[in-house]
Structure 1
Amino acid sequence: MSSRGIADKVAIVGMGCTKFGELWGSSADDLAVDAVVDCLDSAGVSRDDIDAYWLGTLGSGQSGLTLSRPLGIDKPVTRVENYCATGSEAFRNACYAVASGAYDRVMAVGVEKLKDSGFSGLMRSDPPSDGTSPELSLTAPAAFSMLDPAYCAKYGVPEDQMREAMTHVAWKNHRNGANNPKAQFQAEVSKEKIESSPIVAGRLGVFDCSGVSDGAAAAMIVRAEDALDYTDRPIYVKALALAAGPGRGGMDPAYDFTTFPEVVRAAEDAYAQAGIDDPARQISFAEVHDCFTPTEIVLMEDLGFSTRGQSWKHMLAGDFDADGRLPVNIDGGLKSFGHPVGASGLRMLYEAWLQLRGEAGVRQLADPRVALTHNLGGRPGACVSFVSVVSREKGQL
């Protein structure tokens, strides 16, 4: 059963986003303030006009003081965390607060300062366990590298063709990021360089892995009926869906590493909320969690953009390129824009904000109406997943 949803009850009326990258000269405080000020300016309001804040950060601070202190405010601030879906979780909770009638104007903020901490996919710590979750002993690249051979085995895909499809994901997203002045990596990368890069885990090379970066993003949310008081081009929230799985994939012999069941459930819920029955046709573009190149290939099927076992072909055919039938990660994605954990979900929404308002510059799509954002936290077999659907228009999609 899907959740009831809050379609067309709330709208985004302002957004802000810092540049992502190795921002040695900026602290987490600096980044959060920059994103908030950018967001406030875009909505034409002051920090005193915001009733409450939701802050998403994985490891760059504890409690609401992480935001209230640098902003110099005395307001409700709720700090949330949900792995790599942390920024999306801040947004989801902020939206529900407005939809419930508790507040009129709220802000969701995501921030992460990873470079100074040394935290990355290769250096991490896990909570204590009873030892029955063997996947926790693996690095993130090692865990996600299993998608590649499992997919090839299940669908009979030759390894060289799967390698070509994975390379296309990296090539596409770096090409898109080259048109994004806020991306961590702003240069195209040749397919030859991608395929000859040093191996990290399995068949994943350096260019198959998303960047470790610093950054922040923010969104202001109000009731839909009040949206035009702040902007003539609001973005209406159609669906917010979150799924946290049982985390048994590492022990379950039925799990085959060719799908994320949590993504499937979150997508089904979001589509039911938004009234979408043909996502491949009704979604104008998507921002998805391309933490590793085979992840994006699997996500195309879990999100309903490709049939099972066919997304690698659609990737090679250019279906998800900037000029394809359904552009994916037009801003460069995690791969090129970077992945400061707490900010990534809101960064995806920032691209939706720009595209749907016609403000994306040289990467602007022709006539986008509906955007999907997707976050994934954890690893194959044990993860959380978030899916949102937003649109420039109210009413039926």
Structure 2
Amino acid sequence: MAIRGVKDKVVIAGMGCTRFGDRWECSADDLIAEAAGAALASAGIGIEDVDAYWLGTFSSGNSGLTLTSALDVGYRPVTRVENYCATGSDAFRNACYAVAAGAYDVVMAIGVEKLKDTGHAGLVVPGPGGDGTAPGFSGPAPFSMLAPAYAHRYGLSERQIRTTLTHIACKNHANGARNERAQFRVPVRPEQVENAPLAAGMLGVYDCSGVADGAAAAVITRPGLAADPLYVKALSLSAAPADGATAPGFDYTSMPEAVLSARAAYAAAGITDPPAQLAMVELHDCFTPTELVLYEDLGLSPRGAGWRDALDGRFDLDGPIPVNPDGGLKSFGHPIGASGLRMLYECWLQLRGKAGGRQLEGGRGLALTQNLGGRPGASVSFVSVVGAEAG
């Protein structure tokens, strides 16, 4: 499969992100306006300068009119994108391609979700009909299978796998406590995590990401048109065949779509040693064992070593390769359509030295985002690499 990269052909000129959480005081329109306004301000342009829009939302709108009702965009084209929890990332991907193709000079990608108003958790709209053979899972259930499968394959005791998941939860809550936009801003203790009510399998409440409202936006343009750009190095999307547990080789310790999307992104960006070349990673920690498996799928740890690397602090805020320095889905929250752009927002802050109390040190100028949509065995995986400089 030929993938023609967009390395340094497009840049992020500005970004905006709302506070995530219980935003009862806001409508989806309000959140869109807040994120878009912040992105335009950081790019130093007006809304009249934007040629086209890509809107990502799972359940807060059915067309581009969701955006035009919130913003006065002057009859500009608006495309609504949906790809499960990777919705915001796919809006960004398509917006970048439009600029790289020369169709537009300046575009905007926006992701938004107003989940709290639905009264439901997780994915809130019914799926397509089937033949009755597909399993009926709650959100946490399929991801809960990752933990015992990983422990079995690599010979971990129940205590070892539990301690690893607890460390991941505590790490992300500690990071989120430093983030004024995060849904959950209080650090948690290991005993809180381990004594919390169970959601599925061995996963407790603190192993699961929060249901949140929120929006994030990015202004995308060509190099030379942005005053303080972030360069897009790679964009990659891989969709699984969705055969899930019926595939003979699938054992819940790896998600092939994540492996393949990362491999393609690394090739496009020229990355040969991810732990040495990446300054930070924002990955899809919808549940704590998802983060553990993704350490290895993204090549941040060798197979079977992710749990030990986590306990050794490799992915902590002060570790050699910080993962989810903004708190991740676990602490920042997970408004489905906004999460992928929220990940890019943290890269935007960190690589420009504007992340405040959680600012990372070091001279490496590349960051990665990985955004998952679906469930193990039936998901899409998006990976982006962005950098502070061209080349």
What TM-score, normalized by structure 2, do the two folds share?
0.98
Contact 1:213-1:338 within 8 A present in 2 as well? yes
* Counterpart-to-counterpart distance in 1, 2:72 and 2:374: 34
Structure 1 gap segments, 5+ residues each: none
Conserved 8 A contact 1:112-1:216:
yes
**1:354, 1:270 → 2: CA distance?**
21
CA distance in 2 between partners of 1:189 and 1:127 (Å): 38
Q: How does 1:104-183 map to 2 (within 5 A)?
A: 104-121=105-122, 125-134=126-135, 137-183=136-182
- Matches of 1:265 and 1:222 in 2, distance apart? 27
TM-aligned CA deviation for residue 123 of structure 1: 6.1
Aligned partners of 1:160 and 1:123: how far apart in 2?
34
Counterpart contact for 1:32–1:216, Cα < 8 Å: yes
Alignment of 1:1-397 (within 5 A): 1=1, 3-73=3-73, 74-121=75-122, 125-134=126-135, 137-227=136-226, 231=227, 233-367=228-362, 368-395=364-391
- The 1:236–1:161 alpha-carbon spacing in structure 2 relative to 1, beyond 3 Å, is same
Q: Distance in 2 between matches of 1:197 and 1:270?
A: 37
> For 2:372 and 2:301, how far apart are their aligned partners in 1?
18
Identity of aligned residues (%): 62
Structure 2 SS opposite 1:226: coil
Q: Is the 8 A contact 1:54 1:91 kept in 2?
A: yes
How many Å separate the matches in 2 of 1:252 and 1:286? 30
3-state SS in 2 of match to 1:110:
strand
Aligned partners of 1:218 and 1:41: how far apart in 2? 11
The CA distance in 2 between the partners of 1:126 and 1:20, in whole Å, is 26
Deviations 1:158-215 (A, max 9, x none): 1110100000010000000000000000110111101100001000000000000000
Gaps in structure 2 of 5+ consecutive residues: none
Q: Retained in 2: the 8 A contact 1:2–1:269? A: no
Distance in 1 (alpha carbons) for counterparts of 2:59 and 2:245: 25
Aligned to 1:106, what secondary structure does the other structure show?
strand
Give SS of 2:368's match: strand
RMSD: 1.0
Secondary structure of the structure 1 residue equivalent to 2:118:
coil
Mapped to 2, the partners of 1:356 and 1:243 lie a distance apart of: 26
Contact in 1 for aligned 2:53/2:95 (Cα 8 Å): yes
Deviation at 1:124, TM superposition (A): 5.7
Cα distance in 1 for residues equivalent to 2:252 and 2:2: 25
Q: Which amino acid aligns with 1:289?
A: H
Counting matched residue pairs gives 389
Alpha carbons 2:31, 2:214 under 8 Å: kept: yes
On the 8 A contact 1:115/1:213 being kept in 2, the answer is yes
**Secondary structure in structure 1 of the residue aligned to 2:260:** helix
Q: Return the alpha-carbon distance in structure 2 between the equivalents of residues 85 and 97 of structure 1.
A: 19
Please state how far the C-alpha of 1:122 moved relative to its aligned partner: 8.1
Q: Distance in 1 between matches of 2:54 and 2:278?
A: 28
In 1, Cα distance between equivalents of 2:137 and 2:41: 43
Q: Which moved more, 1:287-296 or 1:248-257?
A: 248-257
SS in 1 for 2:23: coil
Q: State the Cα distance separating 1:224 from its structure 2 match.
A: 1.5
Q: CA deviation at 1:132?
A: 3.2
Q: CA deviation at 1:44?
A: 1.1
Instruction: State the secondary structure of the residue aligned to 2:225.
Output: helix
Q: 1:65 to 1:263 in 2, by over 3 A?
A: same
| Deviations 1:73-102 (CA, angstroms, capped at 9, x unpaired) | 211000000000000000000000000000
Q: Tell me if structure 2 keeps the 8 A contact 1:121–1:141.
A: no
Q: Distance in 2 between matches of 1:345 and 1:118?
A: 23
CA distance in structure 1 between the aligned counterparts of 2:2 and 2:24, rounded to whole angstroms? 43
Contact persistence 2:59–2:125 (CA under 8 A): no
Measure, in 2, the Cα distance between the counterparts of 1:167 and 1:203: 11
CA contact (8 A) 1:183 1:338 kept: yes
Scaled by the length of structure 1, what TM-score is found? 0.96
2:33 & 2:15 partners in 1: Cα distance? 13
CA distance in 2, matches of 1:181, 1:316: 26
**Which amino acid counterpart does residue 383 of structure 1 have in structure 2?**
S
1:251-275 residue CA offsets vs partner (Å, 9 max, x unmatched): 1132100001100010001001001
